[in-house]
Amino acid sequence: EAIALGEQVLTDTERILGPDHPDTLRTRHNLAVSYGQAGRIHEAIALGEQVLTDTERILGPDHPDTLFSRSSLATFYRQAGRIHEALPLLRQVLADRERILGPQHPDTLTTRHNLATSYRQAGHTQDAIDLLQQVLADSERTLGPHHPNILASRNNLVTSYLDAGRTQDAINLSEQILADSERILGPHHPNTLQTRRNLASSYWQAGRTQDAINLQEQVLADRERILGPH
């Protein structure tokens, strides 16, 4: 429904405002995001590349809409498995946002987090850990220790610890995240269930098989009840 409406809006804005109007560019960008969310990733990339070219030409390379378009295109590349095209784009976005918005701006922190996730996906585990630890420290100072974004950064750091074989670090952090997630989001929130699953994986990797089984059985029962059996 979002795509159908977005395509209609784009047709109308191109006809009424013209193809180069900033509102047309934003509409085109929103449609590309909808394509990506629907799994139509090749259409998302094609439209995202067009939007980035147009915004750089019309609004300039440092305009917030241009930075947002560049970040979205990097996300599309990452979703398509084109990680080595996503990495330089994210590095550029991060450098631009640090220069224009400052190193502690929420958008800068989000970009740093996305770059760390891409590093992990590319197998650059230590780079991912170093960046996630920096993001976590900055986010806790800027947003506070209980912000939902903090929990997401911690969960990604757990996964990176597991990738690096740092199992005890992963367990310690997972147990802390789970306690915070249950208190802040509630015991049945999807993020809490994911955290519980990550902790079970950490237990399993550490050889604590029975602890892992017990926790996974709890996660499975909760997900079947909350999300449904299918």
Dist CA 159 CA 168 (whole Å): 12
| DSSP line for 70-120 | HHHHHHHHHHTT-HHHHHHHHHHHHHHHHHHT-TTSHHHHHHHHHHHHHHH
Percent of residues, the chain, with pLDDT higher than 70: 100
H or E element that contains 24? helix 22-37
Angle CA 201–205–206, to nearest 5: 115
pLDDT digits (tens, 9 = 90+) for 40-69: 999 999 999 999 999 999 999 999 999 999
In 3D, which of 47, 113, 111, 104 has the Cα closest to residue 76? 47
Quote the tokens at residue 116.
């760390």
pLDDT digits (tens, 9 = 90+) for 90-101: 999 999 999 999
pTM (2 d.p.): 0.78
Angle CA 143–147–149, to nearest 5: 95
pLDDT digits (tens, 9 = 90+) for 66-116: 999 999 999 999 999 999 999 999 999 999 999 999 998 888 988 998 899
Query: Which pLDDT score, from 0 to 100, does residue 88 have?
Result: 94
Question: What is the number of other CB atoms lying within 10 angstroms of the CB of residue 70?
Answer: 23
